Amino acid sequence: MCGIIGYFGDKDPKNVILDGLKKLEYRGYDSAGVCILDDGKFSRFRAEGKLSNLEEKVKDKQFNGHIGIGHTRWATHGVPSERNAHPHKVSGVSIVHNGIIENYQSIKKELLANGAKIESETDSELIAHLLSIALEDTKDLETAVEQVLPKLKGAFSIVALWEEEPNKMVAFKDGPPLVLGVGEKEILVASDITAIVSHTKDVVFLEDKEVVIVNGTDYKILDPRGNEIHKKIEHIDWNPEAAEKQGYDTYMLKEIFEQPRAVAQALEPHIDIENQVIQLQGALGPDVSAEEINKRLAQVERIFVVACGTSYYAGMVAEYMIEKMTRLPVEIEFASEFRYREPVLPPKSLVIVISQSGETADTLASLRMAKEQGAEIMSICNVRSSSIDREADYHLYMRAEAEIGVASTKALTCTLAVINVLSATLAKIKGRLARDEEVALIQKLQQIPAEMEKVLVHDKFFSEAANSLKRYKGFLYIGRGLSFPVALEGALKLKELAYLHAEGYAAGEMKHGPIALIDQDMAIVVIAPKDDVYEKTISNLEEVRARGGQVIAIGSGEDEVLKDLSLHYLSIPEGDWRTNPILALVPLQLMSYHVASSLGLDVDQPRNLAKSVTVE
């Protein structure tokens, strides 16, 4: 949560920092601020609310220095306000901070006892006080950081400036991500590469407790013991345009429409078209063959899947699909529960962690806990070289490119594509996927992009129907089998975007309670593609209809039965049970998008949310 950026270079720092903050705004939008060198002093501007408020404040301001920092906030300690906005400034020290200082109360007590004047309610301001005190003796920002770093407990990434050394910027982290961008005549540090990639594609990912000292266009990195280290510069292949709206009104709509291409990209490394073979390519690094990967995976006797939010629903699909196709026992868990409930991980357990950002605090902590217990870890991430990706043994990628809309869309459908190839690979290893079945599945998978294009035409329907849909007092999403996690995700999307009450339920569970909610004002969204539980879902739907519920149905092809039972019927192409969820998600994304838009809400940045949840 929170996005931070620091810049030194020959471009106008105001433009670079504001542009970077725009890319980082998905991480939080409670307030924003910058501190930029001007006439030898760091000039600070802050504004409550969205970045546009800050842009308005600085639009006529010119800065003549070449260094500065910026911040976009997701509030943890202290309400969203200008007073609590970053950068925090104490004497000549300015800092931006992402994360939480857990021992802030004891630090605050000590600072107050020594007469410090604390202006905000944040834990972050305390860091600036500590640095300022250290600088009285050290007169050197690098040494001051080295003294302060061991005093901080929690999860943080920080960039600091000091007026007495105006060409210097010191950045350090313990927990949340921090990336260094090394350009020709410029250096950037930021919470993620989206803020850097339009300036340079050469980056260095910092590890916990490393410190980077930027001095003009030079930099050096210190390891946790203070020794200088030379880290590899990685060249990333991200397209800077992936972080732009490209003519769409919102990132979310762009990302929904990008899905056919994104899913094709996710599948591409794992399908050998010429030989019609599914294989996990590159999961153990570029030099390890698919055969060796299979050999190692053949040892697995038990699978746990761990994730949060939308990624958790992807994990539920993995649980159903892998178990059904391989007969290996699979369990899905919320990362926030798994990490604390002391689970038993038998020998030969594989823990699959799913995370778009690769930084979600609970998921990362679960990974570390499982690793300590000797389990092998497989990550499915979108952000390469994120903490989760780096710490896993096997690495699979969503390949969705930058997902900026806070509500996840394309990352989920890409994950489901990857789960398909993973399940098929494990089934082959277990001798449970016949050759003709493999070829048939490949054909189905390859049809997905074209089929998604067809499903995207429902955009028009929902843009027109949104006005009537938003009048319902509540929404119940129901489905069975693989459509159950789809129902849960549909409800989550509507809640987080439109702030309407929505619940996802296993269709067969309706009669055990939720059916009491149903009346004329309740919309029932049913996901009932033609699969082996279709008939059962139809029976549940009859029960709902008998009580007056208004049905919006998603089914396969021209399903007359479902049509008769529904007020609105949205068709997805007749598919395979394994690919249905990918297609069925698209109308649900469009529905939430248009209902939220028709309510005048900000779909890219829903209230109280942030994309990368690096706090517990």
Compute the distance between CA of residue 21 and CA of residue 322 in angstroms, rounded to an integer: 40
Least Å distance between CB 243 and ligand F6R?
Answer: 16
Q: Are 180 and 124 in contact (CB under 8 A)?
A: no
Q: Binding segment for ligand F6R among 140-148, 349-357, 448-456, 541-549 (CB under 6 A)?
A: 349-357
Going from the C-alpha of 528 to that of each of 483, 535, 538, the distances in angstroms are 7, 9, 8
Least Å distance between CB 77 and ligand F6R?
Answer: 20
Q: Which of residues 463-502 bind ligand F6R (CB under 6 A)?
A: 492, 496
**355 touching ligand F6R, by CB under 6 A:** yes
Least Å distance between CB 225 and ligand F6R?
Answer: 31
**589 touching ligand F6R, by CB under 6 A:** no
Least Å distance between CB 353 and ligand F6R?
Answer: 9
Name the amino acid, one letter, at 352.
I
Going from the C-alpha of 539 to that of each of 162, 507, 523, the distances in angstroms are 69, 9, 17
Least Å distance between CB 76 and ligand F6R?
Answer: 15
Residue owning tokens 């594989």? 350
Compute the distance between CA of residue 179 and CA of residue 158 in angstroms, rounded to an integer: 11
Nearer to ligand F6R, 98 or 357 (CB): 357
Compute the distance between CA of residue 521 and CA of residue 472 in angstroms, rounded to an integer: 5
Q: Binding segment for ligand F6R among 40-48, 306-314, 320-328, 532-540 (CB under 6 A)?
A: 306-314
Going from the C-alpha of 163 to that of each of 15, 83, 117, 140, 168, the distances in angstroms are 21, 21, 19, 11, 9
Q: Which of residues 53-92 bind ligand F6R (CB under 6 A)?
A: none
**550 touching ligand F6R, by CB under 6 A:** no
List, in sequence order, every beta strand (DSSP E) within 163-317.
168-174, 179-182, 186-190, 202-205, 211-215, 218-222, 228-229, 234-235, 271-272, 277-278, 302-307
Q: Binding segment for ligand F6R among 144-152, 201-209, 352-360, 513-521 (CB under 6 A)?
A: 352-360
Out of 89, 173, 201, 611, the active site residue is 611
Nearer to ligand F6R, 473 or 607 (CB): 607
Going from the C-alpha of 274 to that of each of 78, 278, 280, 300, 380, the distances in angstroms are 58, 11, 16, 29, 26
Q: Binding segment for ligand F6R among 29-37, 357-365, 366-374, 505-513 (CB under 6 A)?
A: 357-365
**194 touching ligand F6R, by CB under 6 A:** no
List, in sequence order, every beta strand (DSSP E) within 49-110.
67-73, 88-90, 93-101
Nearer to ligand F6R, 107 or 380 (CB): 380
Least Å distance between CB 93 and ligand F6R?
Answer: 32
501 class by beta-carbon count within 10 Å (0-12 exposed, 13-18 middle, 19+ buried): middle
Q: Binding segment for ligand F6R among 214-222, 255-263, 353-361, 456-464 (CB under 6 A)?
A: 353-361
Compute the distance between CA of residue 486 and CA of residue 503 in angstroms, rounded to an integer: 12
Nearer to ligand F6R, 429 or 488 (CB): 488
Q: Are 203 and 181 in contact (CB under 8 A)?
A: yes
The one among 43, 84, 94, 311 contacting ligand F6R by CB under 6 A: 311
**379 touching ligand F6R, by CB under 6 A:** no
Angle between helices 483-498 and 309-326 (to 10 degrees): 180
In 3-state terms, what secondary structure has residue 237?
A: coil
**386 touching ligand F6R, by CB under 6 A:** no
**407 touching ligand F6R, by CB under 6 A:** yes
Helices of type H across 169-308? 251-257, 259-267, 290-297
Q: Are 249 and 463 in contact (CB under 8 A)?
A: no
The two most distant CA atoms of the chain are separated, in Å, by 80
Out of 2, 308, 381, 414, the active site residue is 2
Q: Binding segment for ligand F6R among 111-119, 270-278, 302-310, 391-399 (CB under 6 A)?
A: 302-310
**540 touching ligand F6R, by CB under 6 A:** no
Nearer to ligand F6R, 47 or 256 (CB): 256
Query: Which residue is closest to ligand F6R by CB?
Result: 309
Least Å distance between CB 186 and ligand F6R?
Answer: 29
14: nearest Cα among 58, 47, 50, 48: 58
Q: Binding segment for ligand F6R among 116-124, 253-261, 304-312, 575-583 (CB under 6 A)?
A: 304-312
The one among 356, 379, 537, 580 contacting ligand F6R by CB under 6 A: 356
Least Å distance between CB 212 and ligand F6R?
Answer: 25
**351 touching ligand F6R, by CB under 6 A:** no
Compute the distance between CA of residue 86 and CA of residue 105 in angstroms, rounded to an integer: 19
**31 touching ligand F6R, by CB under 6 A:** no
Distance of alpha carbon 165 from the chain centroid: 36
Least Å distance between CB 34 and ligand F6R?
Answer: 27
Least Å distance between CB 74 and ligand F6R?
Answer: 12
Q: Are 195 and 23 in contact (CB under 8 A)?
A: yes
Active site residue 611: yes
Residue owning tokens 């998600």? 585
The one among 537, 613, 614, 615 contacting ligand F6R by CB under 6 A: 613
Q: Which residues bind ligand F6R (CB under 6 A)?
A: 308-311, 355-357, 360, 363, 407-408, 492, 496, 613
Query: Which sequence positions are flagged as catalytic?
Result: 2, 611
